[in-house]
Amino acid sequence: MDEIKHFRDGDVVLYKRENSKRWQARIKLPTNKWKRISTKMNNMDDASEYACQKYDEFRFKVKNNLPLETRQFSAVANLAKIKMQNELDAGYGKISFNDYIGVINRYLIPYFGNMNIDKIDYKKLKKFDEWREKKIGRKLKASTINNHNAAMNRIFGTALENGWIHKTQMPLLKNRGLKTERRSYFTKREYRSLCAFMPAWSKMGRKQKTREIRELLRDYVLILTNTGVDFQNK
């Protein structure tokens, strides 16, 4: 039979199994749920003191909307990667997941890896921006930073789902990257030349699939230009 001791009006329960010398604990949370922990202690007085400290700590965290436990960034990031890869393998993951996984491996884990996920704040994110720019050797474009931010949000989303951060700890990721420069217009003369060239070009592919893709591209050009795409007036 298990040996059982009660503390804090029954909200802290110590118990020791017949085949173990160490005390385990069940702690009642303010939400009326119970959380199990191991005290890793053989002495009952030491174990009860530890469990009661944990009881106070859990109550403080619940009251202040803090996670009861957390994880290192690398552990959460690897879990997010596995989830994305599983979705890709199953055939319904987004193509962009491949880019996110690459970003996580090259930039996010090398920098944030050993930090606790709930300790990453604005200052750490700002220092990361500086480190990343130095590592790459240039200021990143806004589109690239959007990709990095999306990968980071996947990781924080995983932490939120597992209760390792609170919603209030989700950081607001900013983007101060360079705006993408608009490509040059086609002139009317260039457009007429393109339209004259594409019908024959679309039939020149060696494979049926190539011809179909070229015909589709031709249709795209015609649709875009006939639904409001502007040209340089030359």
Output the CA angle 48-38-14, nearest 5 degrees.
Answer: 40
What's the pLDDT score for residue 147? 93
Query: What phi, psi does 38 have (nearest 5°)?
Result: -105, 130
In the chain, the amino acid numbered 64 is N
Q: Which of 33, 79, 82, 25 is nearest to 51 (CA)?
A: 25
Distance, CA of 35 to CA of 66 (rounded, Å)? 15
pLDDT digits (tens, 9 = 90+) for 30-45: 888 888 889 999 999 9
What's the pLDDT score for residue 78? 96
CA gyration radius, the chain: 29
Pick 111 or 226 by higher pLDDT.
111
Q: Which of 228, 214, 82, 234 is nearest to 155 (CA)?
A: 82
Task: Please name the residue that has the structure tokens 């040059």.
Answer: 184
Query: What phi, psi does 232 have (nearest 5°)?
Result: -70, 135
Share of the chain above pLDDT 70, in %: 93
In the chain, the amino acid numbered 170 is M
Structural domain boundaries of the chain? Answer: 3-63, 73-169, 188-225
How many Cα atoms are found within 13 Å in the side-chain-facing hemisphere of 56? Answer: 5
What is the pLDDT confidence band of residue 63, given thresholds at 50, 70 and 90? confident
Across the chain, mean pLDDT equals 87
What is the pLDDT confidence band of residue 222, given thresholds at 50, 70 and 90? confident
Q: Output the CA torsion 27→29→34→40 (10° steps).
A: -30
Output the pTM of the full model. 0.60
What's the pLDDT score for residue 228? 64
What's the pLDDT score for residue 112? 96
pLDDT digits (tens, 9 = 90+) for 141-198: 888 999 999 999 999 999 999 888 888 888 888 877 667 556 666 778 888 888 889 8
Pick 233 or 184 by higher pLDDT.
184
Task: Please name the residue that has the structure tokens 């217009």.
Answer: 185
